[in-house]
């Protein structure tokens, strides 16, 4: 069976002389293959690797000599892309850090050939070599790194490999990494996240320096965990790219019976990257889904054979580091992706979104409240890109009081935000309405009309919003409350006392409740009550800001 590596490899060849006081030579090998853009707990593997490098560098002596080797950082699909980026020389941690920061993951994972290249680079010395290898999978190129490690050991190249399995989900990959450690007399350690990786690296460095560290690998190889699974699924973003290795990727492999080459009855769904399961022999249509990508492949499972489906999804990863003008990172936002024809594709609500999209042209829309920005982008198969976006948004928090000294408006409030009219012939444009005692709005920077109402009391105010800031306003409604109690079945009509130019009463509202409390702007009003028996009575009231006036009809 052909084996494939899931990238992310950090290897350190630490060389120290036979005498304890002798200065050591070392090479740090960093995997810069395309899958280094995969994520663990919200962090990309390349960023975790950079932190891991810092962890390793802090443990080297200033008298040591250290170089940096990388692979997969220059071209896609090239197993020969191995480079000694920083030649072995005087210990210069800043030079190493700068070189690592400049790596742009894109290619394959030639782990075995990197072992050979590092050994060759330090062949001039006969000092003992120590290797610290961190990997999240198995070899993507043809050589078997376990066999290469055993071959170098047998050939007299004096090195020991301490191996760390980082976020390993594939049992075959773990067996291979454990094999490398066993073949060279080293220790194997598991690491599930960034902190676990730094902890395991610390233990590996201790082992390299001669401290006893217990290996987490069994003394002998365990039975093949995939022995009874005749289906193996491997997915790649692009032709020649590393297989996808992401324990949280939820790649789905859905089997349907093949009905003359078309999708027939559903059979089973397998999840994972890579995937493995026991599937009845037969002809199938396999639907592979990953994020927003779906592909269909004809596939035959043969009796008494392991059948491998190695698929190319023709897709890439898209993230965004959106920010607010003048205020840093965004939160509480929605990210939407549309295709080049305007069709909806996907939505993400995380502060840092991640989309898996088929190669093509798209538009990313970032929205927070009434603020929105968009940007067109293109994604090629195998790429991992960041679409940087800046959002013009500030927060407006509105509250109200009945009078300057209170009380606060706690119930029945409505706050409407409008964009002011541009001319006398236009109307203000409604934006949003909220009904909370403290109504909050996310808005682009600018001036707005704020219409605050409770009951029949209403006033229009002006407010200015600045991007990245919170504007808090507490408006005075200049209003009071009229409490009206009438017999059951009565009708209550409220009019302004002052008549209009046509000598007509200005109607405010009509109610049919026996008890009613209504908020009114300060001023004079007439309450007309018509009882069930047809009797009418008029009651003049004066509403005072922040006060309550009572009307009672027996």
Q: How would you write the pLDDT of the chain (554 residues) with one tens digit per residue?
A: 333 333 444 554 444 444 333 445 677 778 787 777 767 777 777 888 788 888 878 777 777 677 788 888 888 778 889 999 988 778 888 998 899 888 888 777 788 888 788 777 776 555 566 777 877 777 777 668 888 888 877 776 667 788 888 877 777 788 888 988 888 888 999 988 888 888 888 888 788 777 899 999 888 887 777 778 999 999 989 887 778 876 556 799 999 999 999 999 999 999 988 888 999 999 999 999 999 999 999 999 999 998 999 999 999 999 988 888 877 778 889 999 999 999 999 999 988 898 999 999 999 999 999 999 999 999 999 888 889 999 999 999 999 999 998 899 999 999 999 999 989 899 999 999 999 999 999 999 999 999 999 999 999 999 999 999 999 999 999 999 999 999 999 999 999 999 889 999 999 999 999 999 999 999 999 999 999 988 999 999 999 999 999 999 98
Domain termination site, one of 456, 476, 496 = 476
In terms of residues, how long is the chain?
554
CATH classification of the domain holding 327: 2.60.40.10
Whole-number pLDDT of residue 123: 67
Angle between helices 194-208 and 45-57 (to 10 degrees): 30
Q: Look at residue 225 and tell me if it is in a domain.
A: no
Domain that holds residue 134: 9-208
31 with 148, same domain?
yes
CATH classification of the domain holding 448: 2.60.40.1120
Domain termination site, one of 260, 291, 313 = 313
In angstroms, rounded to a whole number, what is the distance separating the alpha carbons of residues 167 and 180?
Answer: 17
Domain termination site, one of 391, 417, 434 = 391
Q: How many domains does the chain have?
A: 5
Whole-number pLDDT of residue 124: 56
- 3-state helix, strand, coil split of the chain in percent (to 5) is 15, 45, 40
| Predicted structure pTM score | 0.72
Whole-number pLDDT of residue 7: 41
Q: Look at residue 221 and tell me if it is in a domain.
A: no
Whole-number pLDDT of residue 127: 59
Measured CA to CA in angstroms, residue 212 lies from 165, 182, 209 at distances of 19, 15, 9
Measured CA to CA in angstroms, residue 29 lies from 70, 107, 209, 355 at distances of 5, 15, 18, 30
Whole-number pLDDT of residue 1: 37
Token pair listed for 534: 């047809």
Residue 453 C-beta-side C-alpha neighbours within 13 Å: 11
309 with 320, same domain?
no
The torsion region of residue 267 among left (phi > 0), alpha (psi -120 to 50) and beta comes to: alpha
Whole-number pLDDT of residue 248: 55
370 with 402, same domain?
no
189 with 44, same domain?
yes
Tell me which H or E stretch contains 147: helix 145-154
Whether the bond between 407 and the residue before it is cis, its omega within 30 degrees of 0, is: yes
């Amino acid at each position: 069976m052909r084996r494939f590596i899931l990238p992310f490899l950090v290897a350190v060849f630490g060389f120290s002389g036979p005498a304890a006081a002798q200065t050591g030579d070392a090479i740090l090998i960093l995997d810069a293959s395309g899958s280094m853009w995969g994520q663990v707990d919200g962090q990309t593997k390349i960023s975790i690797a950079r932190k891991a490098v810092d962890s390793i560098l802090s443990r080297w002596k200033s008298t040591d000599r250290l170089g940096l080797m990388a692979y997969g950082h220059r071209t896609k699909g090239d197993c020969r892309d191995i480079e000694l980026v920083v030649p072995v020389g005087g210990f210069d941690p800043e030079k190493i850090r700068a070189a690592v920061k400049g790596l742009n993951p894109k290619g394959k994972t030639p782990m075995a050939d990197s072992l050979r290249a590092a050994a060759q680079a330090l062949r001039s010395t006969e000092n003992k070599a120590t290797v610290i290898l961190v990997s999240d999978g198995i070899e993507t190129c043809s050589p078997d790194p376990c066999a290469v490690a055993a071959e170098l050991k047998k050939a007299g190249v004096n090195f020991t490999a301490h191996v760390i399995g980082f976020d390993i989900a594939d049992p075959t990959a773990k067996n291979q990494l454990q094999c490398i450690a066993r073949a060279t007399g080293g220790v194997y350690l598991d690491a599930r996240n960034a902190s676990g990786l730094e902890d395991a690296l610390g233990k590996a460095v201790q082992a390299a320096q001669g401290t006893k560290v217990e290996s987490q690998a069994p003394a002998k190889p365990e039975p093949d965990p995939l022995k009874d699974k005749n289906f193996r699924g491997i997915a790649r973003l692009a032709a020649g790219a590393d297989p996808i290795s992401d324990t949280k990727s939820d790649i789905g492999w859905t089997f349907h019976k093949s009905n003359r080459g078309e999708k027939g009855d559903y059979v089973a769904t397998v999840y994972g990257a890579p995937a493995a399961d026991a599937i009845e022999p037969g002809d199938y249509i396999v639907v592979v889904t990953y994020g927003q990508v779906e592909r269909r492949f004809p596939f035959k499972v043969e009796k008494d054979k392991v059948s491998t489906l190695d698929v190319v999804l023709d897709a890439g990863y898209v993230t965004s580091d959106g920010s607010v003008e003048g205020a840093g990172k965004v939160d509480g936002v929605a990210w939407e992706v549309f295709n080049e024809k305007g069709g909806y594709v996907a939505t993400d609500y995380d502060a840092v979104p991640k989309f898996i999209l088929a190669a093509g042209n798209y538009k990313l829309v970032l929205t927070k409240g009434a603020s929105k920005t968009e940007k067109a982008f293109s994604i090629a198969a195998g790429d991992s890109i960041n679409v940087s976006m800046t959002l013009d948004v500030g927060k407006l928090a509105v509250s109200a009081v009945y009078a300057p000294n209170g009380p606060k408006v706690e119930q029945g409030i409505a706050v409407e935000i409008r964009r002011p009219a541009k001319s006398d012939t236009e109307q203000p444009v409604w934006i949003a309405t909220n009904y909370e005692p403290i109504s909050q709005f996310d808005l682009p920077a600018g001036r707005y009309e704020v219409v605050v109402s409770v009951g029949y009391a209403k006033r229009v105010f002006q407010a200015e919003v600045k991007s990245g800031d919170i504007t808090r306003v507490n408006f005075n409604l200049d209003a009071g409350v009229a409490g009206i109690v009438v017999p059951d079945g009565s009708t209550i009509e409220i009019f302004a006392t002052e008549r209009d130019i046509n000598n007509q009463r200005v109607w405010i509202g009509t109610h049919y409740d026996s008890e009613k409390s209504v908020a009114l702007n300060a001023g004079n009003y007439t309450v007309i009550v018509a009882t069930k028996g047809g009797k009418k009575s008029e009651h003049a009231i004066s509403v005072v800001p922040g006060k309550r006036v009572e009307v009672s009809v027996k």
